[in-house]
Structure 1
Amino acid sequence: MTAASAVSSATTASPATRSASDPGYDAAVAAFNTAHRPCPALVVEARSPDDVVAAVRRARGEGLPIAVQATGHGLASDLAGSLLVSLRDLDAVRIDPERRVAVVGGGATWAQVIAAATPHGLAPICGSSSGVGVAGFLLGGGHGPLSREYGVGSDHLLRARLVSGAGELVDTDDDPDLLAALRGGKSGFGIVVELEVALHPITRLYGGGVFLPGEAAPTVLPAWRDWVTTLPEHASSSVALLRLPADPALPPPLQGRFVVHLRFTTTASADDGEALFAPMRDLGRGERSDGGDSVEPIADLVTEMPFAAIDAVHADPTEPMPTWDGSALLGELPDTAIDALLAVAGPGVETPLIMAELRAFGGAITRAPELDSVAGRQAPFGLYALAPMVPPLAGVTPVVVQGVTDAVAPWTVGALPNFLGAAHGGVLPALWDDATATRLAATRRTYGW
């Protein structure tokens, strides 16, 4: 493979292998979700595919379970007793502008890909936060702000190179079933050390977020539901109920407030984007359905922006924090479902929830490529709930998050692997149809451990 050397030759230094008593262990195992403190028996800081091969073979020889981590966004347990392969340093990125392809190390983040692709006028189909790892996002399908127009992230995975459970380097060019499994099958197929990802000639967006008073949620959510069904595929939106901390880093009007965060993106012109978003902006000039005052925005940040500023749309947290999360795919979103959500996460509810978010799907997400394992493509909406897992709340937080997903159970049609949350403990439930599940199981038997 002509591109492989770009990743594997990033450094020739030997990998650091650390146990809990070694300096640097805590930094090596640190994860973005700090609800768990990883405590593997050993951590190997891989710097090349060969380092990963050696780590897997050592784990097999010593009978240690194998774990893998790049950013640690999806950490679901403490990894006790395992050999953890850290891919954080296997993060080289090379852009082939003629082919419109990024060659990406298994530990790279979307921020690194965006930074490398932007000078070429190119962009990836990434998620709402560029701090997430490329590999984990793509293996779980990968829904993002441009997915209604371009499909999920894994639709743009062209090739991958991985280390199998037997400690062998494997390339998807040699097995289309393996590529199909990596496009949404999530985990259990080995350790991905390199990916080739298609890029697109996208340089700017019209988008951002509007913050509205949380008390307006009973008006905003039904209006948003009706509005998103009218949007063309080049436009996407989500809406979140946010309970913001009294953090001085936040703008003063948002500190310590319960707000509705309405997000919007389109690749159309600023004029067309403004026209599409106008019905939701006009909501602030109308009357509340409960007879109250008009819904005046706290802040309106929807505007023309470079693609490289895409993180500003959702404004997801960028610093590690302890969280517990859960999700559901929804087959429909009637008024009764909105009422059920508001009853557990809306105005007047005393809850430790940080966020209860609805995302509108559809469009190109529903059209699967020939090689594909993405679950839940046909679901029009997704729900995601997030709460802090800090000591005073640790006993109640999982119950609260479960309460949000339970509230929408009558309309639930599955879940997305990347949004399953901590409650699944790293074990994937039955998300796929029988034929896909059978195929994925066979691929795991061939390449996994």
Structure 2
Amino acid sequence: MTYTDDEPDPPFLRPGETGYDDERAGFQLGFTQRPALIAPVRSTAGVVAAVRHAAAAGLPVGVQASGHGLPGGSAGGLLVSTRRMDGVRVDPEARTVRVQAGVRWGQVAAAAEPYGLAPLNGSAPGVGAVSYTLGGGLGILAREFGYAADHVRWLELVTADGEPRRVAPDSDPELYWALLGAGHTLGVVTELEIGLVPVRTLYGGSLAFDGRVVDPAAVLEAYEAWTRTVPDGLTSSFAAVPYPDLPALPPHLRGTYVVSVRVAYTGDDGEALVAPLRRLGPVLSDSLRVMPYAESHTIHSDPDTPHAYYGDSAVLANLDVGRAGELLRMTGPGAADAMCVVQINHLGGALARPAPNAVPWRAGRFLVRLLTVGEREPARALLDPAFALLAEDTLGRSLNFAFGAGDRSAGLYDPDTAKRLARVKEQYDPANLFRRNYGV
């Protein structure tokens, strides 16, 4: 691990200059970002200079590490690119890790593994750790340990006045509360310290079925019933993926409709707990096993190649399996012009516990995520009626899974949380400098 605060920051990049296009490119290729300036920072001093310049010039500011969760396309303004801020420092005695703004979860997991510790990372190792945590952070072991945001000790950021600050629960409880759940709307977070958990191995993997052989709606109904029987420490999700018949895909996936249940659990009775799922029908694949935590990203095997996608999410008070079954029919093979990935995460457990942060919808029992691959208009034509189908049970949306298909702020927070965030925003960013991100 190397910290780079003593290295000079590169100069601003402008459209047409060498490196501009590479710097603005993120994992999400569906949106075009064309800022007037890019600040490719590698230090807190560089962030300070960028924010002060933007404020003086009246330029709105956006922040990007990996570019997985872009809120939409944009033109003009200043983009702070934090990918060079890649320092990671583990304290094995305190079970904490310090993470700079551009670090990705895979780096954190690799740094913690030699000590028998694990971060509360999401399913994709290429996602930015800081940005994901600021949006809550729904991890692989979320039902056992809660949101990643629940474990943050302190944060360092540069606010709209161009001042660097260290924020902790006892030093500035209101700003600390707001940062953890509001994303990059209050400043540029340059570093944070977060707790690690003593996990070296887990029982996990995926149990996949052929949706052309086994009724996907029946699998989902059985899965929902099964979630009512499992302990709080078991984290799982249901997924349905209709793969197109394309030469670029592996032969065994071309034209298939894969329906799967993914599991992550640190207990020693995993095999017994998943036994009911094995009886649902013949399987396409079964990767359930005891694995090192370093292999936990294989549970979901998220794609690691940048591509165009659009999506949104709905946190549900309850999962009506009849309506959810209709959603599968709406999004399945041949039913839509756009390929749609359905993922339904089981919430509850430690996720329902209160915490001193702005992560909302803790009473939710399930999170439905719909992600389409392809053009935006076919995506909206599919997603809007699909989420309308779930409206009766919907509490709101999840910031980390609002992939540019819906309104930037609607439904992200309950009314009380939204009002409290607005008061913090008025105090620390009254001119709304940080408006290139999801709004408060």
Cα separation, 2, equivalents of 1:382 and 1:220: 17
Contact 2:9 2:40 in 1 (8 A): no
Give structure 2 stretches of 5+ with no counterpart: 434-440
Q: CA separation of 1:240/1:334 partners in 2, compared to 1, >3 Å: closer, same or farther?
A: same
Q: Which amino acid aligns with 2:256?
A: R
Contact 1:158 1:195 in 2 (8 A): yes
Whether 1:116 and 2:116 are equivalent positions in the alignment is no
Q: Corresponding residue for 1:387?
A: 372
Q: CA deviation at 1:251?
A: 4.7
Q: Corresponding residue for 2:242?
A: 243
Q: CA separation of 1:415/1:150 partners in 2, compared to 1, >3 Å: closer, same or farther?
A: same
Cα separation, 2, equivalents of 1:263 and 1:144: 13
Contact 2:220 2:325 in 1 (8 A): no
Q: Which amino acid aligns with 2:362?
A: R
Contact 1:209 1:263 in 2 (8 A): yes
Q: Corresponding residue for 2:275?
A: 278
Deviates more, 1:395-404 or 1:132-141: 395-404
Q: CA deviation at 1:378?
A: 0.8
Matches within 5 A, 1:133-282: 133-173=128-168, 174-215=171-212, 216-246=215-245, 251-269=250-268, 272-282=269-279
Q: CA deviation at 1:430?
A: 4.2
Q: Corresponding residue for 2:326?
A: 340
State the secondary structure of the residue aligned to 1:47. Answer: coil
Contact 1:344 1:407 in 2 (8 A): no
State the secondary structure of the residue aligned to 1:422. Answer: coil
Contact 1:214 1:347 in 2 (8 A): no
Cα separation, 1, equivalents of 2:2 and 2:418: 34
Q: CA deviation at 1:297?
A: 0.7
Whether 1:304 and 2:290 are equivalent positions in the alignment is yes
Whether 1:434 and 2:418 are equivalent positions in the alignment is no
Choose the corresponding residue for 1:376, options 349, 361, 383. Answer: 361
Q: CA deviation at 1:140?
A: 1.0
Cα separation, 2, equivalents of 1:193 and 1:35: 27
Contact 1:214 1:346 in 2 (8 A): no
Deviations 1:320-353 (A, max 9, x none): 0000101111111123222331331246634423
Q: Corresponding residue for 2:44?
A: 49
State the secondary structure of the residue aligned to 1:202. Answer: coil
Whether 1:127 and 2:130 are equivalent positions in the alignment is no
Identity percentage of aligned residues? 38
Q: Corresponding residue for 1:103?
A: 98
Choose the corresponding residue for 1:411, options 393, 398, 401. Answer: 393
Choose the corresponding residue for 2:299, options 313, 323, 339. Answer: 313
Q: CA deviation at 1:181?
A: 1.0
Q: CA deviation at 1:147?
A: 0.8
State the secondary structure of the residue aligned to 2:34. Answer: coil
Q: Corresponding residue for 1:292?
A: none
Q: CA deviation at 1:158?
A: 1.1
Q: CA deviation at 1:36?
A: 1.1
Deviations 1:4-53 (A, max 9, x none): x97453x5123231101100111100011000121100101000000000
TM-score (norm 1): 0.91
Q: CA deviation at 1:305?
A: 1.1
Contact 1:102 1:196 in 2 (8 A): yes
Q: CA deviation at 1:102?
A: 0.6
Question: What is the number of equivalent residue pairs in this alignment?
Answer: 426
TM-score (norm 2): 0.93
Matches within 5 A, 1:56-95: 56-95=51-90
Cα separation, 2, equivalents of 1:438 and 1:348: 43
Q: CA deviation at 1:148?
A: 0.4
Q: Which amino acid aligns with 2:367?
A: G
